[in-house]
Amino acid sequence: MITVNRRLAQPPLPRWQQLWREAVTDPLELLRLVGLEQHARRLLPAGDTGFPLRVPRGFIARMQTGNPDDPLLLQVLPQVAENLPQPGFVHDAVGDAAARSAHGVLQKYAGRALLITTGSCAVNCRYCFRRHFPYADETAAANGWRAALAAIATDTTVTEVILSGGDPLSLSDAKLAELGSALVAIPHVRRLRIHTRLPVVMPERVDAAFAAWLAALPLQKVVVLHANHANELDASVDVACARLRDAGCTLLNQAVLLRGINHSATALTALSERLFAAGVLPYYLHQLDRVLGAAHFEVTDAEALALIAALRHSLPGYLVPRLVREVAGEPAKTPL
Ligand SMILES: *Cc1c(COP(=O)(O)O)cnc(C)c1O
Ligand code: SF4
């Protein structure tokens, strides 16, 4: 029958898109899931929804039940500390609002063009500059890529295109394929770099269809993951990383140095070791952008430098990340 055929013709949502819809957005539910109902007084008052909670259930499953200081929980839980006075912390911490072009391309560094592909993420990280700028309208996707791709096509110095956001893997495979084909058609673009937290917070995103598309894409491919603590990596993340490697990607990680989450030599050593076990090399360790609401995560430069010195003693050189800060107007990330 026609109606039945029609229903059959509708492809089911990919599993990762179902998981996306099932993400936890209610802070009290999150506390219940990790056995911390009695900690509700720590939460931002309900109605303070400027930057709402959002976290996939698979990521919650990696949190330790009953631990109010769990390093994964602290990255996503909206806490009253965010509303304390924070001198020196501002809305636009990296001066990006001015640097953003209307069509979602950022060209600050030689040879590289960064595309703001989307404003959405699978997780809302409390320390992120994005908490004040969802960037919904300034993405390259908003105008169907045309202006963004034209800007890249006319500048023959661009050899590497970086997909950023938001999280570029929040786009559908079809959207990514459309973008990928357009980039392949630009002769001077040799490398595609993808900055994404999805293989960590929702590894199901790296499904067979996505991996097949990546493998077939005739560009050199780099995926820069974002994990801040060893506990974020489990067997499901290992699978996603293996798929990305099998698809021909070089895997790197960037982390943010966060007080109470990873600001110890022990935590950072464990992170590097765990990343390498998953086939990922540590790339950057970022000093926090001084964004309003994130002051309680800040680690001083002196502490940060001491931590890196300790890592140099405990790890092989290739597992020591570069400690950097983003300084508006500089031609590269600034080493500390
Ligand atoms: C961080 C960044 C890059 C990439 O810098 P690398 O040092 O190559 O990782 C490129 N463009 C912009 C606008 C950036 O902020
Ligand atoms: S851009 Fe990255 S750090 Fe910011 S909320 Fe999204 S996933 Fe988290």
DSSP letter (8 states) at residue 111: T
The pLDDT tens digits of the residues spanning 224-273 come to 999 999 999 999 999 999 999 999 999 999 999 999 999 999 999 999 99
Helix, coil or strand: residue 106: strand
Tell which atom from ligand 1 comes closest to the C-alpha of 283.
9
Query: Which atom belonging to ligand 2 lies closest to the Cα atom of 256?
Result: 3
**Residue 1 pLDDT > 80, yes or no?**
no
Among the bound ligands, the one closest to the CA of 54: 2
The minimum-distance atom of ligand 2 relative to the CA of 121 is 6
Check residue 44 and report its DSSP letter. Answer: P
Q: Is the CB of 162 under 6 A from ligand 1?
A: yes
> What pLDDT does 95 receive?
65
Residue 74 Cα to ligand 2 middle (Å): 14
Burial of 219 (0-12, 13-18, 19+ CB in 10 A): middle
Helix (H) or strand (E) holding 20: helix 15-21
* Interval between CA 237 and ligand 2 midpoint (Å): 17
Per-residue tokens: 78: 């909206």
The enclosing H or E element of 334 equals strand 334-335
Question: In a 10 Å sphere around its CB, with 0-12 CB exposed, 13-18 middle and 19+ buried, how is residue 261 labelled?
Answer: buried
**Residue 104 burial class via C-beta count within 10 angstroms: exposed 0-12, middle 13-18, buried 19 and up:** buried
Does 105 contact ligand 1 (Cβ within 6 A)? no
**Ligand 1 pocket check for 109: Cβ under 6 Å:** yes
Is 309's pLDDT higher than 70? yes
Architecture of domain 97-335: Alpha-Beta Barrel (3.20)
Domain boundaries, the chain: 12-83, 97-335
Q: Is there an atom of ligand 1 within 6 Å of 114 CB?
A: yes
Residue reference for tokens 């295109």: 161
The residue whose C-alpha atom lies closest to atom 1 belonging to ligand 2 is: 166
Pocket of ligand 2 (CB under 6 A): 121, 123-125, 128, 130, 166-167, 197, 226
Q: What is the pLDDT of residues 180-226, one digit of tens each?
A: 999 999 999 999 999 999 999 999 999 999 999 999 999 999 999 99
Contacts of 315 (CB under 8 A, 6+ apart): 269, 272, 273
Quick: pLDDT tens for 266-294.
999 999 999 999 999 999 999 999 999 99
Q: What is the pLDDT of residues 27-51, one digit of tens each?
A: 999 999 999 999 999 998 877 768 9
Give the confidence band of 328 by pLDDT, cuts at 50, 70, 90.
Answer: confident
